[in-house]
Amino acid sequence: MITSFLDPTVVLTAGFLVAVIVVAGATLRAWQGWLDLKRSELDRAVHHPATADGSSIGTARIELADLKERIRKLEAIASGVEL
């Protein structure tokens, strides 16, 4: 009976099972940490909205201008115009 537990196939299978459990546990712990990080980022965004000086509005305008410029360049490429 004891020799059946020392069979290499059983030992390898048990080792792989333990390895899978360890990797799954580590992955689950990392996932929970990532979710906690995202929750804290959301809480920080809710409790500390954009500053009163309008810096987020300025940033949004710059991003919008950048997107418009990219669209203009892509349209020029699509129509075959050299920039």
Confirm if 56 and 50 have CB atoms less than 8 A apart: yes
Confirm if 10 and 4 have CB atoms less than 8 A apart: yes
Residue 2 CB contacts under 8 Å (≥ 6 apart), including other chains? none
76 and 44 both lie in a single domain:
no
68 and 82 both lie in a single domain:
yes
80 and 60 both lie in a single domain:
yes
25 and 43 both lie in a single domain:
yes
**CA–CA separation, 64 and 19 (whole Å):** 49
Q: pTM surpassing 0.85?
A: no
pLDDT score recorded for residue 25: 96
Domain housing 74: 53-83
Mean pLDDT along residues 8-30: 95
**Does the pLDDT value for residue 20 go beyond 90?**
yes
What kind and span of H or E run contains 12? Answer: helix 8-47
> What are the DSSP calls for 69-83, one per residue?
HHHHHHHHHHHT---
In this predicted model, what pLDDT tens digit does every residue of 44-59 receive, in sequence order?
A: 877 765 555 556 777 8
Q: How many domains does the chain divide into?
A: 2
1 and 31 both lie in a single domain:
yes
11 and 37 both lie in a single domain:
yes
